[in-house]
Amino acid sequence: MFGIKTKILKYLIFHQQEKSKKLSNDLRITELMNFFEADEFGHESNIKNADLGYGWIHYGLLRQIKAKKILCIGSRYGYIPAVLAQACHDNGFGKVDFVDAGFGDEIKKEGKSSWTGKGFWKTQEGKDHFKNFGLENNIQLFVTTTQKFAKKYKNMSYEYIYIDGDHSYEGIKTDFKLFWPMLHEGGLMLLHDISIKETLPEGKYGVWKLWEEKTNKNKIEVNYLGSGLGIIQKQSNR
Ligand SMILES: C[S@@+](CC[C@H](N)C(=O)[O-])C[C@H]1O[C@@H](n2cnc3c(N)ncnc32)[C@H](O)[C@@H]1O
């Protein structure tokens, strides 16, 4: 009996020690993924395994390029914006401007799509969400459309821009046009869902089409099984 208890204890200690040798903190990762309701399919991630999926790419890039000014467009419950804000927090500097119109089902009456948005950012819970996770110093929420945001803050500039908002061809084309000029030379623009070519209940996807049109040399495609993530580095003001 005593032998089994010792063996179990040794096993637990061994695994605890192995976990503490990891670069990442599994507990914080699963807490973040649960709190911000990470979409496992959409980001090739896995909450149980503390696997950030595409979140690793965002986190790693921000830790490495040490961007101070980041723009993030669109998220259902804040998963990727939170990863970006966490990277700024861990760098010890940097701020994310997170823009989401807070669209939900109501938009259907106008014949538009919310692109799976749930209206969360219009609620008080949505407005307090980053504060409730302790990330409020590294992120600011703007509940508005990208068009209105770009008009109001036309002098803003960013080193890192992530777009996951209106997924129609017209929508992504508009956002690209609005925000590309705001990207620093050498800065990175990332587009989510470059691989989806179907028409799904939320609408006809068109990010793939814009992505194919971009002929920049500095273009990387992270495109495994699911949604696909496109990364373009800006070389000049083209
Ligand atoms: C729900 S996200 C896509 C899901 C995302 N992959 C995720 O992991 O949460 C799309 C978001 O874009 C927002 N959105 C759509 N069109 C927009 C626009 N023109 N301006 C600002 N936000 C917009 C919606 O409110 C929605 O929350």
Give the H/E segment covering residue 24. Answer: none
Distance from C-alpha of 26 to C-alpha of 15, rounded to nearest angstrom: 13
Report pLDDT for 2. Answer: 61
Residue 74 CA, ligand 1 centroid: distance in Å: 4
Predicted pLDDT of residue 215: 84
| Antiparallel, parallel or unpaired: β 139-142 and 95-99 | parallel
Strands (E), the chain: 69-73, 95-99, 139-142, 158-163, 183-192, 199-200, 203-204, 219-222, 229-233
pLDDT at site 224? 67
Residues 6+ apart with CB under 8 A from 136: 130
Distance 167 CA to ligand 1 centre (A): 8
Question: How does residue 10 score in pLDDT terms, banded at 50, 70 and 90?
Answer: confident
Over the Cα atoms of the chain, what is R_g? 19
Domain membership of residue 220 (yes or no) is yes
For residue 187, is it within any domain?
yes
Separation of 236 CA from ligand 1 center, angstroms?
Answer: 28
Question: For a pocket test of ligand 1, which of 37, 80, 115 has the largest count of ligand atoms closer than 8 A to its C-beta?
Answer: 115
Q: Would 142 be classed as within a structural domain?
A: yes
Which CATH number belongs to the domain containing residue 35 in this structure?
Answer: 3.40.50.150
Specify if 238 maps to a domain: no
Contact 32, 73 (CB under 8 A): no
Report the nearest-CA residue for atom 2 of ligand 1. Answer: 75
**Ligand 1 atom 7 nearest Cα:** 75
Nearest CA to ligand 1 atom 20: 145
Question: Is residue 222 included in any domain, yes or no?
Answer: yes
pTM over cut 0.85? yes
| Percent of the chain surpassing pLDDT 70 | 95
164 lines ligand 1 (CB under 6 A): yes
Residue 117 placed within a domain: yes
Residue 1's pLDDT is what? 56
102 CA closest ligand 1 atom index: 25
Return the structure tokens found at 61. 């890039």
What would the pLDDT profile of 14-37 be if each residue is shown by its tens digit? Answer: 777 766 788 899 999 999 999 999
Asked if residue 192 has its Cβ within 6 Å of ligand 1, the reply is: yes
pLDDT band, very low/low/confident/very high, at 112 (cuts 50, 70, 90): very high
Average pLDDT, the chain: 94
The answer to whether residue 17 is domain-embedded is yes
Give distance in angstroms: CA of 82 to centre of ligand 1. Answer: 15
Which residue, by CA, sits nearest to atom 3 of ligand 1? 75
Is 33 among the domain residues? yes
pLDDT band of 237, cuts 50, 70, 90: low
Residue by residue, what is the 3-state secondary structure of 160-211? EEEECCCCCHHHHHHHHHHHHHHEEEEEEEEEECCCCCCEECCEECCHHHHH
Interhelix angle 54-65/79-91, nearest 10 degrees: 30
Q: Which domain holds residue 216?
A: 2-233
Counted domains in the chain: 1
Which residues contact residue 39 at a Cβ distance below 8 angstroms, ignoring those fewer than 6 apart? 45, 76, 79
Q: Tens digits of per-residue pLDDT, 113-162?
A: 999 999 999 999 999 999 999 999 999 999 999 999 999 999 999 999 99
Query: 102 C-alpha vs ligand 1 centroid, how far in Å?
Result: 7
Give percent of the chain above pLDDT 90. Answer: 84
Q: What is the pLDDT of residues 200-216, one digit of tens each?
A: 999 999 999 999 999 87
pLDDT value at residue 217: 79
Residue nearest to atom 27 of ligand 1 (CA): 117
The DSSP code for 46 is B
pLDDT of residue 8: 83
